[in-house]
Amino acid sequence: MEFDKDLRSIQEVRNLVARAKEAQRSLAELDQAAIDRICCAVAQACADKAEPLAKMAAEETGFGRWQDKVIKNQLGSAMTWEAIRDMRTIGILREDKQRRLMEVAVPVGVVAALIPSTNPTSTAMYKTIISIKAGNAIVISPHPNARNCILETCRVMIQAAKAAGCPDGVIQCISEPSMDGTNALLRHRDVGLILATGGEAMVRAAYSSGNPALGVGPGNGPAYIEKSADIPRAVRDIFASKTFDNGTICASEQSIITEACIHTAVEAELKARGGYFLSPEEADRLSRLILRPNGTMNPVIVGKSALDIARLAGLSVPGDVKVLIAPQKEVKKGNPFLREKLCPILAYFVEDGWQSACERCIQILSIEGVGHTMTIHSEDESVIREFALKKPVSRLLVNTPAALGGVGATTGLQPALTLGCGAVGGSATSDNVGPMNLLNIRRVAWGLKEPEELLGGHAEKRAEPSRVTEKAASTLSREEIESITRAVLARLGR
């Protein structure tokens, strides 16, 4: 009997999880040095194949630039490993002799990893390395539009891991991805944790699966150019970020907010670096392309260049244009320019001062992207601190390209391709997710005090409550109950 694709996918998921569960038990027997050898081998193999895998991803998905995907692959492999290589994640993590506490790492078991089509190979590398570093097996669910490049990435990782002594079945990937298969993975009772990176609907499905999940919300980060900023550097960084892989990193800037006193210089610099300011008519035409009728981002613009997008919208722009810029006056929920746009399109606002700019950033984030990331370009430490105190984001990036700064490539943040948005963004963490997010900690605690010490040393008083048991509670008078209550409260110091 020939089963349809969905049934085959569901059965494959069941088989993969069962195998992963057994493999993880073997992995859990390895010490820190053995785990690190496996992670190092996987990272090295991925780094060695960074270019061919990048080309494969760009060709299969049609998103971005393969040259930039090489850097993403290096981030997901070598840079991730370099950041976590000395991290203690196996066995006893730490001991506190004074407080008589010991902390022991406990792997979550099987990690279900959902991989997006925007960053397919790099995300598969990153999630595999941090999962194994924490002592877990991983089952990867590839986006159907990036299936082949993700399967090839897994083949490279499996081969390297096995050569380094990794048990078979620790790294696996669904070969027939489907919606039903992914749902079966999310809801499988033997999945210890879900790592969800992708669209909002998929992340919501992960959180409603009944299994623990770490997911991310959409990005929609404003970039504020404050009057003290180095304007050429600020514009350079914003454009470097927004054109990196054609804007497919969710931390990338989605709007520019600047001040009236410097807007002429800012606009001149934007134009000099390839920014094209849209007329109201051009902006209206482009706005109809950005979102689909259901309010979600139109996939035809994702990862495309500014010139390609202009052609799709029927716009005539100069051949050297790098970014399309739409001037805005107010924030409205239905405005497509104020949403996440994974391509080189930016909204543009001019405000009277930093207080007004601060409020504008909050308004934009309230539409989409709350809890995620924003950027400030400034040399004024007091303004930077005010933004740090008030902005509803998990990452406030200062004087750096947001796409590369948010994932930890140009900042001191943990290198990561899963960026938590915190409670305000509907996420279970605000971290750049790393190995410590993929394990539990068992705390071993020795007694430091005798019970008598909690009662002020009056051990004999501990026997007094036994008088209550000598007489059925139902036969106690109201006065006796009040007397006993007063005695207990007095003992507790209340």
Q: How would you classify residue 135: left for phi > 0, otherwise alpha for psi between -120 and 50, otherwise beta?
A: left
Task: Count Cβ atoms below 10 Å from residue 221 Cβ, excluding itself.
Answer: 27
Burial class (CB in 10 A: 0-12, 13-18, 19+), 447: exposed
Alpha-carbon span 13 to 172, nearest angstrom: 10
pTM, rounded to two decimals: 0.90
421 part of the active site: no
Using the structure block, give the residue that is written with the tokens 């060695």: 48
Please report, for the chain, the start and end positions of each structural domain, with discontinuous segments joined by +. Answer: 5-216+434-443, 221-412, 452-491
Tell me if 20 sits within 8 A of 169, measured CB to CB: yes
Tell me if 49 sits within 8 A of 122, measured CB to CB: no
Four-way CATH pick for 221-412: 3.40.309.10, 3.20.20.70, 3.40.50.2300, 3.30.230.70 = 3.40.309.10
Alpha-carbon span 121 to 140, nearest angstrom: 11
Alpha-carbon span 483 to 492, nearest angstrom: 14
Between vectors from CA 393 to CA 79 and to CA 67, what angle results, nearest 5°? 35
Tell me if 111 sits within 8 A of 195, measured CB to CB: yes
Which residue type, as a one-letter code, is found at position 349? F
Using the structure block, give the residue that is written with the tokens 């392309």: 289
Q: How would you classify residue 355: left for phi > 0, otherwise alpha for psi between -120 and 50, otherwise beta?
A: alpha
The tens-digit pLDDT sequence of the chain (494 residues) is 566 888 999 999 999 999 999 999 999 999 999 999 999 999 999 999 999 999 999 999 999 999 999 999 999 999 999 999 999 999 999 999 999 999 999 999 999 999 999 999 999 999 999 999 999 999 999 999 999 999 999 999 999 999 999 999 999 999 999 999 999 999 999 999 999 987 778 888 899 999 999 988 899 999 999 999 999 999 999 999 999 999 999 999 999 999 999 999 999 999 999 999 999 999 999 999 999 888 889 999 999 999 999 999 999 999 999 999 999 999 998 899 999 999 999 999 999 999 999 999 999 999 999 999 999 999 999 999 999 999 999 999 999 999 999 999 999 999 999 999 999 999 999 999 999 999 999 999 999 988 888 876 555 555 455 444 444 545 667 777 677 767 766 665 65
Pairing label, strands 439-445, 101-107? antiparallel
Alpha-carbon span 371 to 216, nearest angstrom: 9
Catalytic one among 39, 149, 173, 250? 250
Sheet with 110-115: list strands edge to edge. 171-173, 137-142, 110-115, 193-196, 213-215
Q: How would you classify residue 109: left for phi > 0, otherwise alpha for psi between -120 and 50, otherwise beta?
A: left
Sequence-ordered list of residues with C-beta below 8 angstroms from that of 359, at least 6 positions apart, any chain? none
Class level of CATH domain 5-216+434-443:
alpha beta
Alpha-carbon span 21 to 110, nearest angstrom: 6
